[in-house]
């Protein structure tokens, strides 16, 4: 079972039906879960709705292509990411995809630590948590040229970075070379979660946990076509990578072995 956390926006049955009819893949089973009063609310914010559509359609596609079966997805609507992770853990979900996030400076230490604590409990219960690494290069859109994205920087979350992938090559996604706040994959070293964890020893040295852990196609120019409000549109970003890995890992059919 795939958990997807959403902090806004909404999805339409008609969009999901149109996507899976056109792609001839198995239509997913989707259940909305309100964690703290937040609800599936499409129609108010096109960017947020696009995010939600991307999450559902990519995760369910990855699962369907890998298994030939219909994905079971639970959409967790929340204003508090840690609460959302805990709710998905309590419901016994196998994987959790989070495409929302922002730089560490905006979250603050206490909130980041609460999200990490929720991820620790999720991992202990066998649920794998994936999170987007951000789409604004090394600054993650923050006030300094080097910052990373929470929740992807949490040590018990798998940070999902982005590439530019064509039929002939795959390279780091960076559409604005030299611009630390341009359009490209987030990544770098955490200033909250220090020192470098044992399992990253031997990697390029930095002050703390390194992000990302995995990567996949995220460049909008080589990205994903989804249906949003009845129209097909190309979307990219590391927001596509988290649900992609969530769908693939859910296809394994077993929980995380500790």
From 51, 80, 137, 183, active-site residue: 51
55 is known as an active-site residue:
yes
239 is known as an active-site residue:
yes
CB 228, CB 46: distance < 8 Å? yes
CB 135, CB 163: distance < 8 Å? no
What distance in Å separates the CA atoms of residue 157 and residue 23, rounded to the nearest whole number? 31
Q: What distances in angstroms separate CA 117 from CA 108, 112, 120, 124, one per listed residue?
A: 14, 9, 5, 11
From 6, 55, 94, 104, active-site residue: 55
Q: Name residues whose C-beta falls within 8 Å of residue 21's C-beta, 6 or more positions apart in sequence.
A: none
By CB atoms closer than 10 A (0-12, 13-18, 19+), residue 256 is middle
From 50, 215, 239, 251, active-site residue: 239
What distance in Å separates the CA atoms of residue 159 and residue 153, rounded to the nearest whole number? 7
Residues annotated catalytic, as ranges: 51, 55, 239
């Amino acid at each position: 079972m795939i958990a997807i956390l959403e902090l806004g926006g909404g999805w339409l049955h008609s969009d999901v039906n149109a996507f899976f009819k056109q792609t001839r893949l198995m239509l997913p089973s989707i259940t909305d879960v309100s964690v703290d009063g937040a609800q599936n609310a499409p129609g108010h914010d096109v960017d947020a709705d696009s995010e939600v559509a991307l999450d559902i359609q990519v995760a369910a596609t990855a699962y369907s292509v890998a298994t030939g079966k219909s994905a079971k997805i639970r959409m967790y609507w929340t204003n508090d990411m840690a609460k959302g992770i805990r709710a998905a853990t309590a419901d016994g979900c196998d994987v959790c995809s989070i495409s929302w996030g922002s730089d560490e400076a905006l979250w603050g230490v206490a909130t980041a630590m609460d999200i990490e604590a929720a991820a620790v409990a999720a991992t202990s219960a066998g649920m794998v948590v994936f999170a987007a690494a951000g789409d604004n290069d090394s600054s993650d859109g923050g006030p300094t040229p080097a910052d990373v994205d929470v929740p992807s920087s949490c040590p018990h979350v798998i940070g999902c970075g982005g590439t530019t992938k064509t039929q002939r090559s795959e390279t780091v996604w960076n559409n604005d070379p030299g611009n630390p706040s341009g359009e490209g994959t987030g990544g770098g070293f955490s200033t909250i979660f220090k020192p470098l964890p044992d399992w990253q020893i031997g990697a390029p040295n930095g002050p703390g946990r390194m992000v990302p852990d995995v990567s996949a196609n995220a460049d909008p120019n080589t990205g994903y076509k989804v249906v949003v409000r009845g129209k097909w549109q190309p979307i990219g970003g590391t927001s596509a990578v988290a649900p992609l890995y969530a769908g693939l890992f859910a296809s394994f059919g077993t929980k995380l072995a500790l």
